[in-house]
Amino acid sequence: MFTMKRALVALGGALLVAAAALPATGILSIDTVAGPKPIVGGTRASTADYPWVVEVTLNGAQHCGGTLVKENKVVFAAHCAAGHTASQFTVYQGRDDRQSTAGKSSKGSALWQDPAYRSASTGHDYAVLTLATPFTGVKTLPLASSSDSALYTAGTNSTVLGWGSTSSGGAGSRYLMKVDVPVVSTAKCNTAYSSTKGDATQFCAGFDQGGKDSCQGDSGGPLVAGGKLIGIVSWGSGCAAPNKYGVYSQVATGNSVISAQL
């Protein structure tokens, strides 16, 4: 994520505004908009179990997370893509440890971001990076669609993954991390972020007491439930802060516009 704390972009429709996150590359918090952060309160994860989770680097530096939805297509956040060109990005797949040389890599060849995107906190935080070299044979993750509304029901258990900070404002994680967080009701999300103008492309996930959340550097990465990509880490306010949930872009809501780029 970016400086924000880490938000999730939903596919389905409820507006969930998280309080302590900024854009994935730095998104995890609304107070600080822009800059990368890692999973807070999570555990180590393996790309052997989650092969579709990829690291997106910018000019050689860790930048955001992403999800492989086709062998040559990575879905991530528009705030991670804004102001950059496809050739500046290199994507790594199958590399749990960022300091290792394991896995595959590919440069970007084309970049699309939702034309309605203005800022992470106002929604439409969707982007698609086309890879110059497809990750042939790697399992991909399907997008949630309008028929998956049940996955956005409050209380639904979901998993967010990334190499972001493991504490608010901390350094990015060397290893891939994951944490399970429940989807939060639209009412709670709106209360947490009452001063932020969001839209139906956003929703929240997290715990009232805080302690577990996505963070800076996790931006663009996946929020998964029911075997589908339901959200994209977008922003938030204060990683893992009480009553400040992660905000995600709803994949179900953005499915048609995203699918048109695949």
> Alpha helix locations (H) across the chain?
78-81, 186-192, 251-259
* Residues found in the chain: 262
Confidence of residue 169 (pLDDT cuts 50, 70, 90): low
Cα–Cα distances in Å, from 146 out to 10, 91, 151, 153, 255? 11, 29, 10, 13, 8
**What are 170-205's pLDDT values in tens digits?**
677 889 999 999 999 999 999 999 888 778 999 999
Q: Quick check: 38 pLDDT over 90?
A: no
Please give the positions annotated as active site: 79, 125, 219
* β pairing state of 7-10 and 228-235: antiparallel
**What are 215-225's pLDDT values in tens digits?**
888 999 999 99
pTM over 0.85: yes
Q: Give the mean model confidence (pLDDT) for residues 17-26.
A: 36
- Which helix (H) or strand (E) segment holds residue 71: the answer is none
| 254 token code pair | 């953005």
**What gap in Å lies between CA 42 and CA 45, rounded to an integer?**
9
Give percent above pLDDT 90 in the chain: 69
